[in-house]
Structure 1
Amino acid sequence: MKVVKKRLLTSAGQKDQVRSEKVIMSQTRSSLARVCRLYRTFKDSKYVYMLMEACLGGELWTLLRNRGCFEDASGRFYVACVLQALSYLHARGIIYRDVKPENVLLDARGYAKLVDFGFAKKIGVGKRRKAKADEMDKTWTFCGTPEYMAPEVILNKGHCPSADLWALGVFTFELLTGSPPFCGADAVQTYTAVLRGVDTLEFPGKVSLTAADLIRKLCRDEPTERLGALKNGEDIQKHRWFESFDWEGLEKGTLTPPIVPEVSSPTDTSNFDRFPLDSEEAPPHDDSGWDHDF
């Protein structure tokens, strides 16, 4: 259950954002989409509530933190899960805009699913097979996590679902090395590193040549030149790094995940970090009615 203070959303100007999140998640309920499912929403005078499926395997970020990095086989599985989720969303005209290990949960079997659709936006299916970026549906909202933001987002040139493919390249690098490729002491330095481009990166020896080639092809400066940009991920699946990968098994859910979490019951939350309860006083009432569709 995701519980959000209504007054906080109002003061932060995020009412439209949470309404959009609710609508998008309501439209992505396929059990094979590798997207966390939203079942129902509720509200009262203080909060809005989103009841979602329980992914009891924990955060992929926690698993990455504990292991340091993943070997090729494990990283390939999680990248494939996220690619499947992005392909599903992009085919429906939805751009996700926040790919990172913190937004990937594992279900009880060990399959990875995207969560947190606060930055997601429906922009239309667009002319995805056109060759020019200016012929694709775009959005201009400046949002995302700095280490994962594509150059066109930083430069406010307008972005399309191809921005998610850039982030997928960054995500792949982080899974295989333990840290994202573009980092700085603050957001400005991180943006500068992103704008220098992937060609300035030195890949650690632990990153295989085929994985490095995939990352470079996903992190091209020109959005339409990124692998998968014009074929909704089909050419990513055919890349050499995924040679012999069982895409059909992933689609059907018959592929054995590289790491199977220990989950003892439907209420076992031991795979998640523990945090203290919110000690703040109850928020004030908000009966303005903006949440009428919850």
Structure 2
Amino acid sequence: MIYTVTLSPTLDYVVSVDHFQTGAINRTQSEDVFPGGKGVNVSLVLNDLGYLTTAMGFIAGFTGAEIKRLLRVGGVEGNFIQVERGMSRINMKIRSDAETAINGQGPEITQEDIGTLFSRLRFLIDGDTIVLAGHIPPSLPSDMYEQILEFLKGRRLRVIVDAEKELLTGTLKYHPWLIKPNADELGDIFGVRIHSREEAVPYAAKLQNMGARNVLVSLGGDGAVLLTEQGEIFSSDALKGKVVNTVGAGDSMIAGFLAGYLDSDGDYEMAFKEGLCAGAAKAFNLTMTTKKEICYLMRTTSFDIQRKQKD
């Protein structure tokens, strides 16, 4: 079974406004509401690719109920913990001449709620996959991912972590199967600016030396690079197409990578290709990508994957 953990899932309220102005009444040209949060996005894409997942995390209030309902409509099984105080986040995204985002705070999560999460994580067994993705809400300990992995230590799980700075590096001692920083996140960890795949490789290698088994770095329009636990480096330009909305592209890349790995019985090059296609398919669309769009790119893309052995 594949489990995704999104500690603070959201309702993403996306509106388009012609020439948005602060301090004035603005009228929308279009409106959409989607369930959101990094792990939730991974679950939605994996479900469409034919892999059942259980989405976990904390929800509250009428917004939490709507998140759960929308996921159920999307075919995703939810095992969320209902908390008492506050409400699940609404993240508003205003598309206009420039994009503006207003993100909510989320509910207050108690120690008892955390205990409930751990009681549900007890049921993970050897061979399962767990995806820890996104930020930690203020009401949770900043080392929450470390606590989860410490609790699960000793089980043979496939662990995927998509997080920033210390939230990511703190998990490396548990040797996650895959981590997926983007170029900015990778640079922030080491206090540098990364402008190319070539510049990303030595810093990705440092994360491997710190404990990560596989490191997948997304660089937006500059493509992506993968360092595998076998010491291989795969590198590719970005796929060609009109970029519409990059929000969730990294989450889609994780889902595509995992599905490609499982579909091919552990072929990292196939996983890399499907990850590239899934991330691009999301960037080329306003909404989360679908299997049809990913498969189309897999069929029609002339991949130019550079492959070499790590020094």
Give TM-score, length-normalised by structure 2.
Answer: 0.26
Asked which structure has the greater RCO (Cα within 8 Å, sep 6+), the reply is 1
TM-score by length of 1: 0.27
